Structure 1
Amino acid sequence: MDSNDPNVAEWVRHISYARYPHAAAIVLGGSHANGTANPRSDVDIAVIDNSVDAAYRESNIVEGKPVEWFVFTEKALPRFFREARRTALPTVLRLLACGRWLESSHGCRRWHSRAALFLAAGPAGWSLDEMNQARYELTELLEDLEENRDRIERLVVAQQLGVRLIRFYLRTEACWLGEGKWLWRMLELYNRGMASRYAAALDRLGREDDELPLIRLADEILDANGGRWFDGYYAEMRQLAD
């Protein structure tokens, strides 16, 4: 089944009502909603059902197809919207704002417009403490990359640096983040030039074992936000529970 299958919407309705007979809304999300699905793509389905005890996410195989369920009550949705803004991870907002609403009660439909408004507003601002913590972590990774001569260890450090660098850049630019492939997609969407430079730096490291382009790019991004930070860093350590 792919996104061009005319029966996909009916199939989603069928399995959703079989599982959630009291559903107030059914939303098809992800690649099946935007027309980019292939036969192996997960089927992302958001369900608003006020009869469930709590919101949850569940993955399972339904009639041979991988399905990701995102189940909410209307009472829980405002908390998820606020959490999306706080963490800059818009998974729920994107599902409801950009998905295909297959069925919904009149009252539920308002969540589509609310999600779109939250998505357009962008994430909450990054606090100075959060940014400085990220600066410190990036500084440590950069120093490890510069000083370590073991190739495999450098590649592991570079992988961590690469992910955290995208997150740092997008957060300091007040942009939404993403998880997995969506982090890269958000960088491409926001600044294709920066994405190209980042990809070239990673390619140079992988092909030629040359970390300098990645280090230079990281320093450029850090310098625009106070530079590397080690001297004077302070953070209280939480006591471990017995």
Structure 2
Amino acid sequence: MGEEKIINPFQAAEMFVNMYYPDCNGALLAGSVVRGEATDTSDLDIIVFDSKMDSSYRESSIKFGWHIELFVHNLDSYKSFFISDCERARPSLPRMVSEGFVLKDDGIISSIKNEACLLLENGPEEWSSDIIRIKRYFITDTLDDFIGSEQRAEEIFIAGTLAEMVSEFVLRTNKNWIGTSKWIYRSLKEYDKEFAKRFVDAFDCYYQTGEKHKVIQIVDSVLEPHGGRLFEGFLLGKKNNK
């Protein structure tokens, strides 16, 4: 964005809403600028609530020197997104709403924020023992591939898959929200800062040196409270033949 980014992000967001959605019921600015974590490539995440909209939509644009990610909802459509986000344990919209800075409000924002905050506080649905068992097996299988591989090119991608699988496992078995991309680390840090540091250090050590033992140790430490690695006796989908 460079020299074009000359307008304060909060001012730019207000200008955008006033220009393009002057009659909306409410609007929020969310994302890194609100959290004080903005970088040179950060955009503005703007959520608009408008009762006149038939359905929700997402749109990207560049206005006032900022990249803008726009999320438009009527006063009902956001609810289905709240539900689907919680079902997949990645509360993108509830998190944006809960942290959002109010740009406009005709009296609807407080109740929507309360809905979002309650969902976040409750956490995702607890995993069943069957799901935990299935996840243990596939983590074990991927770990075995990682340990046995002698091809660096393959190992790099196996390690990435393993990191995502194990981060999901430790978060979900502790009833915490998960994330993707940068939100994997952020979610781990919200759960346990010390564990997040050890987790990152283990994979960073592997990527820099090719040494696998720290990754293997941390995977085993995550699986151990739930019975450890699983291969022998795993069964999925088999039906009794009569």
Superposed displacement of residue 33, structure 1: 1.1
Name the residue aligned to 1:146. 147
Match of 2:19 in 1: 18
Kept after mapping to 2: 8 A contact 1:22/1:51? no
Matched, 1:42 2:43: yes
What does the per-residue CA deviation read over 1:155-195, in whole Å, with 9 as the maximum and x for residues that have no partner? 21011101211111111111111221011011112211111
Give the secondary structure class of the aligned counterpart of 1:102: strand
Letter in 1 for 2:123: G
Cα distance in 2, alignment partners of residues 108 and 188 from structure 1: 29
Cα contact 1:178–1:186 (8 A) shared by 2: yes
Q: Relative to 1, partners in 2 of residues 1:53 and 1:232: Cα closer, same or farther, differing over 3 Å? A: farther
For residues 43-82 of structure 1, what are the alpha-carbon distances to aligned partners after superposition, in whole Å with 9 as ceiling and x for unaligned? 1111112222222223232344211112222212222222
Paired position in structure 2 for 1:67: 68
Computed over aligned residues only, the root mean square deviation of the Cα atoms, in angstroms, reads 2.3
CA distance in 2, matches of 1:147, 1:85: 36
Report the alpha carbon displacement of residue 142 of structure 1 after superposing the two structures with TM: 0.5
In the aligned structure 1, how far is the partner of 2:138 from the partner of 2:61? 36
Q: Is the contact between residue 57 and residue 70 of structure 1 (CA under 8 Å) also seen in structure 2?
A: yes
Structure 1 spans left out of the alignment, 5+ residues: 238-242
Deviation of residue 111 (structure 1)?
Answer: 0.6
In structure 1, give the amino acid aligned to 2:130: D
Give yes or no for the alignment of 1:99 onto 2:100.
yes
Change (3 A) 1:194 1:48: same
Q: Map residues 224-239 of structure 1 onto 2, 5 A cutoff.
A: 224-236=225-237
Deviates more, 1:29-38 or 1:49-58: 49-58
Q: Is the 8 A contact 1:177 1:183 kept in 2?
A: yes
Q: TM-score w.r.t. structure 1 length?
A: 0.88
Runs ≥4 residues deviating over 4 A = none
Q: CA deviation at 1:83?
A: 2.1
Q: Match for 2:33: what amino acid?
A: H
Question: In the alignment, what sits opposite 1:54?
Answer: 55
SS of alignment partner, residue 158 of structure 2: helix
- Aligned AA (1:166): S
Structure 2 partner of 1:240? none
TM-score relative to the length of structure 2: 0.88
Q: Report the secondary structure of 2:226's partner residue.
A: coil
Verify: 1:119 aligned to 2:125, yes or no.
no
- Classify the secondary structure of the residue corresponding to 1:109: helix
Q: Secondary structure at the match of 1:47?
A: strand
The one-character-per-residue Cα deviations of 1:72-126 (angstroms, maximum 9, x if unpaired) are: 2221222222223221111111111111011111134311122112111211212
Looking at structure 1, the residues matched to 20 and 235 of structure 2 have their Cα atoms a distance apart, in angstroms, of 51
In 1, the alpha carbon distance for the partners of 2:79 and 2:127 equals 20
Letter of the 1:46 counterpart: I
Distance across 2 between alignment mates of 1:99 and 1:90: 14
CA distance in 1, matches of 2:208, 2:110: 50
Identity of aligned residues (%): 31
Unaligned runs of 5+ in 2: none
Tell me how far apart the structure 2 counterparts of residues 235 and 62 of structure 1 sit (CA, whole Å): 52
Equivalent positions of 1:200-215 (< 5 A) are 200-215=201-216
| Structure 2 Cα separation of the partners of residues 44 and 214 of structure 1 | 35
